[in-house]
């Protein structure tokens, strides 16, 4: 019977929900155990010694623990991002790391579009004015709102999430362009009504720039002063992947100077962020607390995917959505 270890603090509701989903879907042929990631290395080694796979939630597996776990074959993430674990170090120990296989792609793409709409339609300002009793008189003082319809949307990173964003936007009659370091299968971009372009072209042509890339050495800070300066002054920037892919100081300056018109962010360089972060107080930015992927449906798909990969470990079959250590560089 294969054993899967869930690394989480069950005293929090978010962790407990995923623990319940694991137990609900695991079935009688899988042994599901839990380990507190705040335990000492010795306690973790003891707790995980029989695990074939580990599922860390908002946690990591230290290499000095992993090297004492000869049975461990897979670290299965419930997220698309893999920057929370040492993929290279684990691979040297013969332990593969897999992400969630796009399980949260629909959830994140819906949140992405909601941020686009919220920034364009000045939703937070309208809500604040309404709560203050100003009703339409307050709203009438806002700048003219904007439609998404017919806009050019540039998607940086055309993987599972980027493609789902493209699908969500099809009903808005947008022109979709994208940039990705990974070449799509022939005809795949045409199938989605998207056109591949280089990054500078995308930045200059887009009314909305939305980024969906993993965080690694090549993507860290890839949206900085130069990139924001290439964007239209009427364009908005959306980030629902990882905060460090944009340079926050440069983004703040671009908004303050009017180099770009707005930003919708689910992620920041540091989380939780300082309450005095200017992005929280600008009328042109909307920030949510890194929860774009956290829907009930997305959580369930991620758990089912994790268990399917555990089954592959037990049957010595090829694992799905394994992170290539080479891609980290």
Contact of 105 with 161, CB cutoff 8 Å: yes
Asked about 271 being catalytic, the answer comes back as yes
Contact of 65 with 93, CB cutoff 8 Å: no
Q: 179, 242, 246, 301: which is the annotated catalytic residue?
A: 242
Distance between alpha carbon 139 and the CA centroid of its chain, in Å?
Answer: 32
Q: 290, 300, 311, 312: which is the annotated catalytic residue?
A: 290
Q: State the DSSP string of 243-279.
A: GGGB-HHHHHHHHHHTSSSEEEES--SSSSPPTT-GG
Q: 46, 147, 191, 271: which is the annotated catalytic residue?
A: 271
Q: Is the peptide bond before 272 cis (omega within 30 degrees of 0)?
A: yes
Asked about 226 being catalytic, the answer comes back as no
What's the 3-state SS for 29-92? CCEEEEECCCCCHHHHHHHHCCCCEEEECCCCCCHHHHCCCCCCCEEECCCCCCCCCCHHHHHH
Name all contacts of 171-177 with Cβ < 8 Å and 24+ positions apart.
172/148, 173/149, 174/148, 174/149, 174/150, 175/150, 175/151, 176/152, 177/152, 177/153, 177/201, 177/202, 177/205, 177/206
Asked about 290 being catalytic, the answer comes back as yes
Tell me the catalytic residues. Answer: 242, 271, 290
């Amino acid at each position: 019977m294969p054993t899967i270890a869930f690394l989480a603090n069950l005293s929090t509701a978010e962790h407990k929900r995923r623990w319940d989903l694991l137990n609900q879907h695991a079935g009688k042929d899988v042994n599901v155990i839990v380990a507190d990631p705040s335990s000492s290395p010795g306690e973790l080694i003891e707790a995980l010694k029989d695990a074939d796979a580990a599922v860390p939630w908002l946690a990591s597996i230290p290499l000095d623990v992993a090297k004492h776990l000869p049975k461990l074959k897979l670290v299965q993430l419930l997220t698309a991002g893999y920057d929370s674990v040492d993929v290279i170090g684990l691979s040297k120990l013969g332990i593969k790391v897999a992400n969630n296989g796009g399980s949260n792609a629909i959830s994140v793409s819906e949140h992405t579009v909601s941020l686009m709409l919220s920034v364009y339609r000045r939703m937070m300002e309208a809500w604040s004015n309404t709560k203050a009793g100003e009703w339409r008189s307050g709203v009438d003082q806002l700048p003219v709102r904007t439609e998404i319809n017919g806009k050019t949307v540039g998607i940086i990173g055309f993987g599972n999430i980027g493609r789902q964003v493209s699908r969500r936007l099809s009903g808005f009659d947008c022109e979709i362009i994208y940039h990705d370091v990974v070449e799509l299968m022939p005809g795949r971009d045409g199938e989605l009504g998207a056109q591949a372009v280089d990054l500078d072209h995308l930045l200059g042509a887009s009314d909305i720039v939305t980024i969906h890339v993993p965080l690694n050495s090549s993507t860290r800070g890839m949206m900085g002063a130069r990139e924001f300066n290439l964007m239209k002054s009427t364009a908005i920037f959306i980030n629902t992947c990882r905060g460090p892919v944009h340079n926050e100081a440069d983004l703040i300056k671009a908004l303050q100077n009017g180099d770009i018109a707005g930003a919708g962010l689910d992620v920041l360089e540091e989380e939780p962020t300082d309450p005095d972060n200017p992005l929280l107080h600008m009328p042109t930015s909307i920030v949510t607390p890194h929860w774009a992927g956290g829907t009930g449906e997305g959580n369930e798909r991620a758990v089912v995917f994790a268990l399917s990969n555990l089954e592959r470990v037990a049957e010595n079959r090829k694992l799905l959505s394994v992170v290539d250590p080479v891609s980290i560089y």
